[in-house]
Amino acid sequence: MAKQLSIERRLKLNDGREIPQLGLGVYLSKGKEGERAVKAALDLGYRHIDSAQMYANEAEVGAAVLASGIPREQIFVTSKVWDSAQSKCLVSVQDSVKKSGLGYLDLMLLHSPNPGKATRTKAYGDLIKAQKLGLVKSIGVSNYGSHHIEEVIAAFPDSPPAVNQIEVSPFFQRREIVNACLKHNILVEAYSPLGKGAHVDLPELHEIAKTYEKTPSQLLIRWSLQSGHICLPKSANPTRIKENSDIFDFVITENDMKKLDALETGSGVTWDPTTAL
């Protein structure tokens, strides 16, 4: 399986559509910097961009996609409904689509379960409406714990989330949530795969990475893809955007995958709404 990975590789979603396994994260990539990052990524062969209302760059992402000249349907664009917009979810999805200028979004997520059961359940119902209206092609969730996954499946058994976007790295593997997703054929999108940059200088990663003549960042992204996740590294720097996609000419051995799996610490680098009630 690992040998077949490529920048073009797409995974099948539970709604029948496909998603590129490697995506560019654009949190904090704002304004012209964001537009340049998306352009650089598309030029390098990335076909998946992960944005959100909260990142305030849906317009720049859309502009870069349109300026690329690449047919719209070949590029997969995600956004997320921010917590404070979940009470008026459908209107906010319409607003995101309009801001992007793209006519539709490929994937819309609820950014987190934090607004509480009643609000997030109604909001998910709105995502289904948005999908039926053609505003978004696929729908999903982010930062959902296994109890949230069971909750949304119970409420909407015919429209399960296509993905759950959560923090995942060798240091924070989220096995319980990953297993709940696998059980329902929901793909896991791994965010903060580089630990927000905190992991890229760790000596234990250098040790393994240098045996492949790769950097720790490349090792972390490759680990994520070989673990079966969709991986969303963020960089606003074209050189690092290139570095992060130059990962398809090596395979992490089973033994090294085990060594990386053994780095689990049980804690992450960012917020963790997966435990919300």
Q: Is 111 annotated as a binding residue?
A: yes
Angle at 86 between CA 134 and CA 172, to 5 degrees: 100
Residues 51-110 contacting ligand NAP, CB under 6 A: none
* Residue 146 interacts with ligand NAP (CB under 6 A): yes or no: no
Determine the residue with CB nearest ligand NAP: 25
Q: Which span sits near ligand NAP by CB under 6 A: 88-96, 156-164, 173-181, 231-239?
A: 231-239
- CB of 209: closest distance to ligand NAP in angstroms? 11
Choose between 4 and 13: whose C-beta lies nearer to ligand NAP: 13
* Residue 272 interacts with ligand NAP (CB under 6 A): yes or no: no
Give CA separation, 132 vs 43, 112, 121, 146, 160, in Å: 32, 22, 17, 26, 14
* Residue 148 interacts with ligand NAP (CB under 6 A): yes or no: no
Tokens of 36: 């340049």
Residues 179-198 contacting ligand NAP, CB under 6 A: 191-197
Choose between 113 and 160: whose C-beta lies nearer to ligand NAP: 113
Q: Which span sits near ligand NAP by CB under 6 A: 69-77, 156-164, 229-237, 256-264?
A: 229-237
State how far the Cα of 107 lies from the Cα of 138, in Å rounded to an integer.
5
Residues 198-217 contacting ligand NAP, CB under 6 A: 200, 217
Residue from 84, 179, 270, 275 that binds ligand NAP (CB under 6 A)?
A: 270
Size of the site for ligand NAP (CB under 6 A): 27
Catalytic choice (55, 124, 144, 191): 55
Choose between 25 and 160: whose C-beta lies nearer to ligand NAP: 25
State how far the Cα of 206 lies from the Cα of 136, in Å rounded to an integer.
41
Q: Binding marks (x or -) toward ligand NAP, 232..261, rule CB under 6 A?
A: xxxxxx--x--xx-----------------
Residue with tokens 């709105």: 126
- How many helical (H) and strand (E) elements, i.e. helices and strands, does the chain have? 10, 10
At CB < 8 A and 24+ separation, what contacts does 171-179 make?
Answer: 171/195, 171/199, 171/263, 171/264, 171/265, 171/267, 171/268, 172/264, 172/265, 172/266, 172/267, 172/268, 172/269, 173/261, 173/264, 174/274, 176/146, 177/144, 177/145, 177/146, 177/149, 177/274, 179/146
Residue 37, strand partner residues = none
Pairing of strands 136-142, 187-191: unpaired
The residues annotated with a catalytic role in the active site are 55
Site for ligand NAP, rule CB under 6 A: 25-27, 50, 111, 142-143, 165, 191-197, 200, 217, 232-237, 240, 243-244, 270
